[in-house]
Amino acid sequence: MRKKLAIIFGLAAAFAALLVLRPWESDEEDVPRFFDRLPDADIIGKANLLELTESLEQTTYHYKIPFREFLTREFVLLQSKSFGIDVQNPVYFFANENEWELRDFGAMFHVKDSSLIEKGVRRLSSVVKLSDTLIYDQRVYQNRSSKISIAYGSDWLLFYCGDDFKRMYHDVLFAKRNEIPPNWRAFLNQTKMDGTALVAKWSSKDLDKYSINAVDLRLQNDSTSITLLSQVHQNDSIAIRMLDSGPTYAKQEYTRTLANLHLDASGLRDHPNDPLVQIMKQVAQKISFPVQDFLMAWEGSVAFRQGGLQTYREKYIESELDENFNITEVVKYKTIKLPGFSLYLAMNESYPDFLDRLKVKGILTKPDKRYRLLFSPPLALQEDESAISLHTATYYEKPDTSTANSVMFTYDKTPYTFHLDSLGTNTYYCRFHIPLARLVETNIPTDEF
């Protein structure tokens, strides 16, 4: 009887221990989750691929892109299912930069059926030649000439382009459960899509040099352009404030650069570590521009326009032989075309000292009745108590008044525009607008171009 009771109690104890310890779950509990595998990077983000393709459909049809039927929501969903990739979950992307240049980038996809991935790789190989190799005893597909690598597991797929795949793959493959990289953890906890197809966060050593903690980005688009909604977070409080309105130049047909900013910049004088001051000093050091003297004289508003051509009658001296064959100097005039240039700066009573500093350093010179800023065209200088203006026009053009704060510049025939919308305690709220016509024309074959 005692033996039977001992056996019964022993079995009961073993069963209880089995229920508590659950050894069949130990292996599963050690397996990293998808989010544990996300590789740390300077730029991280997520995109709803189906919403993104749907929002870009109007762009592909507007520019009559020949392969637009392969970029529709339905096609992407159908193809991804046939290859075992789950695009109904967000795609997580990452990139690294150094000295403001992109070093590498990649993306992590959810996998629904890993047995179908091989078929997708074979299909991709018909477009981009891929060779398979073993890294950490796992099969990886690569195209070395384009630095592309593809690897996958039971619930994830890694796409990578760059020179650091082995280290990146190590972090993904040997990730530990519940050890999400801190940068990703904060991003996943704090960032919501809120109807936006793509969101990203940028934090790097390059930004940190200028006391900028991070930049948050969201993508918006219409048929002809995309806009990046941005929040720039700096470490300390913002030293400037926005004014209700200020001087502005209107954009003209041939304008290439346009800046209209209405700010109170007096706070920058006592904040030498402010990102704006650091950026000014970085740009100014090449020509020894006196940034501190400028800040002491500048009130914060600026209107600038560059582009087009203006006519100017320039005086010059020519040596000629008179009737007695003596060399004489004759004053003559010629009409020349100058690049259009207009600069208006709101200043205080300290601006004469600032102009004197520019003259001493040779930045502002006056070879004749007009001035030059280094190698600029001849400029007329207009002064009053609260502003100075430098312009190539024959007559002074008084700026209009506007409430918008924006900077437009042209690169490769595309006008990019930065809008400053508002300021928080330590955050700039802004937009960066990118027209697509030229980018599509030069990079993508279309039916139209």
Q: Which residue has the higher pLDDT, 43 or 28?
A: 43
Distances (CA, A) of 120 to 79, 135, 390: 9, 20, 61
190-195 own/partner pairs: CB under 8 Å, 24+ apart: 191/46, 191/216, 193/46, 193/48, 193/90
pLDDT over threshold 60, residue 4? no
| Mean pLDDT within 215-242 | 95
Instruction: Give the per-residue pLDDT at 449.
Output: 45
Segment 17-28 shows an average pLDDT of: 51
Alpha helices in 154-298 (DSSP H): 165-173, 182-190, 205-208, 275-284, 291-297
What pLDDT, on the 0 to 100 scale, is given for residue 397? 86
Identify whether the C-beta of residue 332 lies closer than 8 Å to the C-beta of residue 264. no
Write out the DSSP string of 329-373.
EEEEEEEEEEEEEEEEEEE-TTHHHHHHHHHHTTSEE-SSSSBEE
Read off the pTM: 0.85
Residue 90 · residue 162 · CB < 8 Å: no
Number of alpha carbons in the 13 Å side-chain half-sphere of residue 315: 7
Distance of CA 416 to the CA centre of its chain: 12
Which stretch of 5-19, 411-425, 431-445 has the lowest confidence by average pLDDT? 5-19
Q: What percent of the chain has pLDDT over 70?
A: 92
List, for residues 97-129, the tens digit of each pLDDT value.
999 999 999 999 999 999 999 988 988 888 889
Q: What are φ and ψ of residue 90, in 5° steps?
A: -60, 150
Res 94 pLDDT > 90: yes
3-state secondary structure of 38: coil
Q: Which helix (H) or strand (E) holds 254?
A: none
Which pLDDT band holds residue 5 (cuts at 50, 70, 90)?
very low
